[in-house]
Amino acid sequence: AGQHRLWPEIDTLVKQQVSMARLGVGECGAGWQLFAEDGEMRMYRREEEVDGMVVDPLKAVHTVKGITGHELCHYFFKPEYRYDWETTLENMQVLETISDDTLLFFQTHKRIWPASQRDTLFWSHMRRLPNDQDRDGPDIWAVVNNSTDLASYPPNTGKCVRIFLTVCLLCQTRIDPPKDGAPISRDNITCKITYCSVVNPGGWAPASVLRAVYKREYPKFLKRFTAFVTNKTKDKPIMF
Ligand SMILES: CCCCCc1ccc(-c2ccc(S(=O)(=O)CCO)cc2)cc1[C@H]1C[C@H]1c1ccccn1
């Protein structure tokens, strides 16, 4: 099949996002401040404004036992599960199935007073990456979501302000095989998660409101999402 019009952009951005996500917080530029901590979860942000709008880049790292990176990316990518874990979602549509690992989404998110309601239009791509650092280590899985335009969905024509986002969920699975040569169970696997996002709110919203919203919503999202995947997979065979 011929290449989709978005393929070059997707391939370039996925490689760029993954290499950024693999950098530790200390390595990818100064100015990261820890703003939330919960068990193994650490959330960092950099305070950045574009045209007076808060676009604080966010980087979260988390470690979850008993699930694989493939499973996390699967439940993050597939539309049929999204209403189960995405707290601020009001409506979600798949506008185009570009390929079996690339979808085009249109979403409206619940209004967050006093800002106006937001919608977002983005491509979403899921990919397994070779683990080039640790040859025999388990693979790395990633999902990248990136805002895009579509003539039939022009921004800011209805009730919602269009937001622009780039999101990368990068997951690496660690397997600690049992000593006695028993088959690998969920007790022997751990997933290291890096979630990076930059959300441009589109229209003006008070910096204090946006920062309060992010501080509340991001930790809630990552905890709820990982709990959902843990619960969904606990009685299923391991998807490596
Ligand atoms: C005045 C508020 C303006 C911004 C509102 C808004 C819209 C979309 C989004 C968002 C859209 C997509 C993604 S995702 O990771 O690609 C998954 C697929 O849904 C993630 C977050 C975020 C927020 C901000 C609420 C904030 C917030 C932060 C984490 C989770 C939920 N809400």
- Segment 83-115, tens digit of pLDDT: 999 989 999 999 999 999 999 999 999 998 888
Task: State yes or no: pLDDT of 1 exceeds 60.
Answer: no
pLDDT of residue 87: 87
Q: Is 84 exposed, middle or buried (0-12, 13-18, 19+ CB in 10 A)?
A: middle
Q: Residue 234: how many CB atoms within 10 A of its CB?
A: 10
Top-confidence residue, 204 or 38: 38
- pLDDT bracket for residue 73 (50, 70, 90): very high
Query: How far does residue 131's CA lie from ligand 1's centre (Å)?
Result: 29
* Residues having CB within 6 Å of any atom of ligand 1: 86, 88, 107, 109, 112, 115, 118, 120, 145, 163, 165, 167, 197, 199, 201, 205, 210, 213-214, 217-218, 221
Task: State yes or no: pLDDT of 142 exceeds 80.
Answer: yes
Rounded to 5 degrees, what angle do the CA atoms 41, 26, 64 make? 20
Query: How far does residue 149's CA lie from ligand 1's centre (Å)?
Result: 18
Task: State yes or no: pLDDT of 121 exceeds 90.
Answer: yes
pTM: 0.95
Query: How far does residue 108's CA lie from ligand 1's centre (Å)?
Result: 10
Mutate to test the pocket of ligand 1, among 213, 215, 222, 225 (most ligand atoms within 8 A of CB): 213
37, 179 Cβ separation under 8 angstroms? no
Q: How confident is the model over 181-187, as a mean pLDDT?
A: 95
Q: Which atom of ligand 1 is nearest to the CA of 218?
A: 29
Which amino acid residue places its CA nearest to atom 14 of ligand 1? 167
Mutate to test the pocket of ligand 1, among 86, 159, 209 (most ligand atoms within 8 A of CB): 86
Task: State yes or no: pLDDT of 137 exceeds 90.
Answer: no
Task: State yes or no: pLDDT of 235 exceeds 90.
Answer: yes
pLDDT of residue 136: 66
72, 93 Cβ separation under 8 angstroms? no
Beta-bridge partners for 189 = 175
Mutate to test the pocket of ligand 1, among 56, 84, 85, 88 (most ligand atoms within 8 A of CB): 88
DSSP classification of residue 203: S
Computed over every residue of the chain, the mean pLDDT equals 93
